[in-house]
Amino acid sequence: GDSVTQMEGPVTLSEEAFLTINCTYTATGYPSLFWYVQYPGEGLQLLLKATKADDKGSNKGFEATYRKETTSFHLEKGSVQVSDSAVYFCALGANTGNQFYFGTGTSLTVIP
Amino acid sequence: DAMVIQNPRYQVTQFGKPVTLSCSQTLNHNVMYWYQQKSSQAPKLLFHYYDKDFNNEADTPDNFQSRRPNTSFCFLDIRSPGLGDAAMYLCATSEMGGLGYEQYFGPGTRLTVT
């Protein structure tokens, strides 16, 4: 079945460091891929998405490229800020049915 | 702004006392979802509605029920909460299921069972 495997955390970085959070997927067909962010005590917010191979999603300095050949959708940011501290979830939207598959989440803490 | 609203944000109930969580949306989306999220875990889908069509996940306990009286509102009923049901409950909507249609989440209701 469809699934998402996400890099385990927690991840701790200094401000202005480069961030990569790995995400790989298994799917039949052509899913859509998403990154969601969850700040403490809040719901999930869509950070970025890509709906087909080679699409690049970007938002707030974060980027991720849908790579079919490596079945990956890694999240990157060139220079993290303290305000980026949150939990990041990679997710897959199956193209059959109304199913979403979440990764286990990666907790990021950015220290000044 | 169009949004997903959950009330209350924090709910305390007693062991075995029925509780209802509510969700409303102004997005006019036809799919609504309920997730349970425990600390440091990914959200776990409990069930979803595609319009009035109810879809229960196979491992959702019978203790959890849902109602969707109209497009805008959806309720989660926990008939006899146990200590293990303490969690964040997230409501989400999408325009349609599947390809390209992201889910929009509410802020969640944190349920405490005493």
pLDDT on residue A71: 95
Q: What percent of chain B has pLDDT over 70?
A: 95
> In b/e form, how buried is each residue of B79-105, taking b as 16+ CB within 10 angstroms?
eebeeebbbbbbbbbbeebbebbbbbb
Residues in chain A, pLDDT under 50: none
CA distances from B90 to A1, A35, A38, B21, B70 (A): 24, 17, 12, 10, 19
> Rounded to a whole number, what is the distance in Å from the CA of A94 to chain B's nearest CA?
5
Taking contacts as CB-CB distances below 8 angstroms, the residues of chain B near A31 are: 99
Q: State whether residue B98 sits within 8 Å of chain A by CB.
A: yes
Q: State whether residue B104 sits within 8 Å of chain A by CB.
A: yes
A residues 32-91 closer than 8 Å to B (CB):
32, 34, 36, 41-46, 49, 51, 89
Tell me how crowded residue A88 is: count the other CB atoms within 10 A of its CB. 25
| Mean pLDDT on B49-68 | 92
Q: What is the three-class DSSP state of A99?
A: coil
Q: State whether residue B110 sits within 8 Å of chain A by CB.
A: yes
Mean pLDDT score across all residues of chain B: 91
pLDDT on residue B112: 97
Taking contacts as CB-CB distances below 8 angstroms, the residues of chain A near B36 are: none
pLDDT in tens, B40-56: 889 999 999 989 999 88
Indicate the helix (H) or strand (E) that contains B35. Answer: strand B31-37
Taking contacts as CB-CB distances below 8 angstroms, the residues of chain B near A49 are: 100, 102
